[in-house]
Amino acid sequence: MFHVLKSTYLFPAEVIEKVRPAHKEYLQGELDAGRIVLAGPLDDFSGGVLITGDITAEQADEIVARDPYTLEGVARYERSSFNPTFRAPGV
């Protein structure tokens, strides 16, 4: 199952910026491990989106729980899970 993990920032940008380096380092590890396949901020910088690879809901929840944004309490996440019916080649 794939998951869309949408974050919403709970504090102003200057607070988020203090945690962002740890968040980015954490996400790179998840990308390297293949648990996350896409990640980035929303256009309005009110939060961000993570798209997971084919993992369980529990694994997706663990990604959120270990994220420095969650640990520092500066963002909250919503998870939407789906089973892809259509896939591009190589996905």
The secondary structure of 26-91, three-state, reads: HHHHHHHHCCEEEEEECCCCCEEEEEECCCCHHHHHHHHHHCHHHHCCCEEEEEEEECCCCCCCCC
- At residue 71, the pLDDT reads 99
- pLDDT of the residue at 29: 98
Per-block mean pLDDT, blocks of 10 residues, the chain (91 long):
98 97 98 97 97 97 99 98 89 71
The CA distance from 86 to 91, in Å, is 10
Amino acid 89: pLDDT: 86
- Walk me through the domains of the chain, giving residue ranges and CATH numbers: 2-42+50-82 (3.30.70)
What's the predicted TM-score (pTM) here? Answer: 0.93
> Would you state the pLDDT for residue 87?
85
